[in-house]
């Protein structure tokens, strides 16, 4: 059974006196930990190194639920997946949801391409940027038809 739990490791205190909250992933008695963006101080922890600050508890629970929802579609019971396969799946799903800056992608493509009408593409991109009034356009900001 695949389980997720937020935890703090006592022996992993950072130089600034903070601890990184990790998500413990357990599957078929195999354990791995995923680092998070949450850092807590000693005063945010109980004696047993459990979270006591409600703000961090809520944020850690939100992350746990996110990972659980990501893995709901995995056929864990009927397959021979390992924990590494599950973590690879999680990583790929997170990358799928990451927006891409369309204009930066176009600029990168223009610097690497050797297509014949490159100047026309550059002019079109510059006109598009002038029309938008900004030089960033994430793919999640483009509406689907």
pLDDT in tens, 75-116: 766 578 888 888 888 888 887 777 888 999 999 999 998 888
Provide the strand spans (E) within 28-61.
30-41
13 with 77, same domain?
A: yes
The helix/strand count (H/E) of the chain reads as 4, 3
User: How far from chain centre, in Å, is Cα 132?
Assistant: 28
19 with 52, same domain?
A: yes
Q: What is the mean pLDDT of residues 12-24?
A: 89
By residue range, what is the domain housing residue 132? 102-141
7 with 40, same domain?
A: yes
- Give residue-wise pLDDT tens across range 117-143: 899 999 999 999 999 999 898 887 877
């Amino acid at each position: 059974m695949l389980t997720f739990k937020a935890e703090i490791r006592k022996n992993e205190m950072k130089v600034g006196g903070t601890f990184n909250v990790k998500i413990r992933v357990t599957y078929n008695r195999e354990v791995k930990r995923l680092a998070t963006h949450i850092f807590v101080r000693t005063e945010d922890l109980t004696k047993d190194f459990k979270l006591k600050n409600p703000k961090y508890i809520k944020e850690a629970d939100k992350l746990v639920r996110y990972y659980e929802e990501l893995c709901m579609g995995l056929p864990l019971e009927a397959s021979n997946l390992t924990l590494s396969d599950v973590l690879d799946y999680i990583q790929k799903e997170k990358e799928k949801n990451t927006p891409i800056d369309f204009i930066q992608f176009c600029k990168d493509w223009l610097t690497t391409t050797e297509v014949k009408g490159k100047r026309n593409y550059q002019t079109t991109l510059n006109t598009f940027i002038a029309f938008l009034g900004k030089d960033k356009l994430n793919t999640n900001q483009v509406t689907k038809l």
